[in-house]
Amino acid sequence: METTPNQPRTILSAMQPSGGMTLGNYLGAMKNWAIMSQTDNCYYAVADLHALTVRQNPAELRRNIRNLAAMILACGVNPERATLFIQSQVPEHSVLAWLLTCHTYMGELSRMTQFKDKSAKQENINAGLFTYPSLMAADILLYNANGVPVGADQKQHVELARDIAIRFNNAYGETFAVPEPFIPKYGARIMSLQDPTKKMSKSDENPNAYISMTDDNDTVARKIKRAVTDSDGVIEFDPEHRPGVSNLLTIYAACKGQSAVDAAAEFAGQGYGQLKQAVTDAVQSALAPVQAEYARLLADKEHLNALLRSGAEKASAAGRRTLRKVYRKLGLDM
Ligand code: AQP
């Protein structure tokens, strides 16, 4: 989202506490969350119910939920304007998810690439992983969100939420706003440092594949040094033929707010060592202020808890209004 809106829009986005936030999550989504929280009416959720689609360690999940909430604020989300909450503390999400699941087709869910990717890696696939997109549609439609800031990987899920909203409106009369995905111009898809043909993910088994927002300077330098590049030493932005170098250029460019093609021109005639050093510097500079703020927020747990409690109350009140309307349309009483 590069334009400044005239009217505040309603924005919803969520992030799973399925590990520590990565640089991919930050560049693909969180930077836009922070920008929009300055002007728009934003609802931001720690999507713990979504995280349960993959088996979690309860103690670790509890820790990850708080840490992610602190990290979202540390990335610049304005707590005065945005409503930040934990998804499971707003039960309206689960209720609407069921009502929307009953308006979602098996064929639609089967076509979701995230389901295909994740189910290929898991042995026992639970039904929640399959119906994940209808819970995500409920997250969005519950607040009548017009916009959903996401990375490119979530575009398909937002499109399904649009389809469900339109289908519901056609069947029962105008009920939901039809949402649009907001995908950043730079950094919409950051790839794994170890396998640049797949996206950087916080739940990757190999910690060298991603940069965590809490990685210290040495770790960042080491991971970028080990990042897979291409064999011929040429610096060119060509994701198809040079995925490794193109990913490093994308990271560098997104940290600096420029295009990867412009970044490639900056490095013309230089070697991979110089590129990696520049990427390391850019990432370290992006992480430093976020890490300082994160440490400060975690030191005041009471403040964070109070903020999340009031966020959940506000979100629940807004969600209930929508749910009441949906119940009425469906012939149910609340
Ligand atoms: N590699 C990425 N590049 C750009 N954006 C990304 N996002 C995720 N990975 C990248 C964006 O981050 C937001 C949060 O995503 P999520 O936590 O809800 O789920 P996800 O997309 O499945 O993210 P991960 O990191 O890959 O988590 P795991 O490993 O648990 O599956 C979304 O807006 C997403 O687009």
Across the beta sheet with 41-46, the strand order is: 83-86, 41-46, 10-15, 147-149, 180-182
Measure CA of the first residue to CA of the last residue in the chain; give whole Å.
38
DSSP 6: S
Tell me the sheet residues that pair with 44.
13, 84
Helices (H), 197-332: 217-226, 243-256, 260-266, 272-298, 301-330
> 183-235: per-residue pLDDT in tens?
998 889 999 999 999 999 998 999 999 999 999 999 999 999 999 998 888 99
Secondary structure letter of residue 218 according to DSSP: H
Nearest CA among 37, 49, 48, 47 for reference residue 9: 37
Residues marked active site are found at 118, 199, 202
Atom of ligand 1 nearest to the CA of 118: 31
Query: What's the pLDDT score for residue 1?
Result: 43
**How many Å lie between the centroid of ligand 1 and the Cα of residue 94?**
21
SS3 143: coil
C-alpha 201 to ligand 1 mean position (Å): 6
Q: Give the pLDDT confidence score for residue 320 in this predicted structure.
A: 98
**What pLDDT sits at residue 6?**
67
Predicted TM-score of the model (pTM): 0.94
Residues of the chain with pLDDT under 50: 1-5
Phi–psi pair at 205, nearest 5 degrees: -65, -25
Mutating to test ligand 1, I would choose from 16, 132, 192 the residue with most ligand atoms within 8 A of its C-beta, which is 16
Assess contact for 226 and 258: CB atoms under 8 A. no
* Mutational pocket test of ligand 1: of 44, 52, 93, 153, the residue with most ligand atoms within 8 Å of the beta carbon: 153
Nearest atom (ligand 1) to Cα of 114 = 22
Q: How far apart are CA 39 and CA 302, in angstroms?
A: 27
**Strands, E assignment, the chain:** 10-15, 41-46, 83-86, 147-149, 180-182
